[in-house]
């Protein structure tokens, strides 16, 4: 597999991660295949991971080729200076912008959930904007203002618009439109910007989600 390099800036390299690929090696032998190792082989140099996205999420993923660049990017993430946008296919019609400010707490089996009243939960906020609506689904843009695990997925579900397919938080059976099947979480890391480092990069919607959008339009 060859990773598509979207942008290089000094010691930073942004790639388009395909769905189904881990960022770093997993615990099992089957999960040793990962984006970091692929890029190391591709560029012939050591690679540092600047951030992570879920296995099934496609789109912009940032790496570094030296320790100083990795440190600069990591500090930008820690200070909340990184602007990220995602595209998501969700259930129902999202008719207007949403500002979802729902603290998140750890649930069972590695899942997250909205915090209960009086419970200690981590602040989490996501801005959602509809891009296109269909009969009973929407394509939305999500901007997470915090970086909690599974934040976008849990926030969308909390507002009654879970992802069209989500084995943890929504519909668990693959969806079919003729010869087009949706069997992964339809979440795509569309863009990433770090103004302090002069980095701005975008990844086009991958073929599988573009085909689903086309069928929804039909």
Catalytic-labelled residue, pool 31, 54, 56, 101: 54
Would you call 54 a catalytic residue per the annotation? Answer: yes
Distance, in Å, from the CA atom of 218 to the CA atom of 210, rounded to the nearest integer, reads 13
| Residue whose C-alpha is closest to residue 214's, from 145, 156, 134 | 134
Record the tokens describing residue 81, joined without a space: 């200076």
Give catalytic residues, as residue numbers.
Answer: 54
């Amino acid at each position: 597999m060859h990773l598509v390099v979207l942008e290089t800036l000094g010691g930073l390299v942004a790639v388009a991660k395909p769905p189904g690929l881990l960022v770093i090696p997993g615990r099992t032998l089957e999960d040793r295949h990962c984006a970091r190792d692929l890029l190391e082989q591709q560029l012939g140099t050591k690679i540092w991971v600047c951030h992570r996205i879920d296995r099934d999420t496609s789109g912009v993923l940032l790496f570094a080729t030296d320790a100083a660049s990795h440190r600069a990017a990591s500090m930008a993430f820690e200070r909340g200076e990184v602007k990220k946008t995602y595209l998501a296919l969700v259930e129902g019609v999202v008719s207007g912008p949403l500002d979802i400010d729902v603290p998140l707490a750890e649930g069972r089996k590695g899942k997250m959930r909205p915090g209960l009243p009086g419970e200690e939960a981590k602040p989490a906020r996501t801005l959602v904007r509809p891009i296109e609506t269909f009969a009973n689904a929407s394509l939305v843009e999500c901007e997470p203002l915090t970086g909690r695990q599974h934040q976008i997925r849990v926030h969308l579900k909390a507002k009654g618009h879970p992802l069209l397919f989500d084995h943890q938080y929504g519909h668990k059976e693959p969806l079919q439109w003729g010869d087009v099947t949706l069997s992964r979480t339809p979440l795509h890391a569309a863009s990433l910007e770090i103004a302090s480092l002069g980095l701005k990069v975008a990844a086009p919607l991958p073929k599988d989600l573009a085909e689903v959008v086309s069928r929804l339009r039909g």
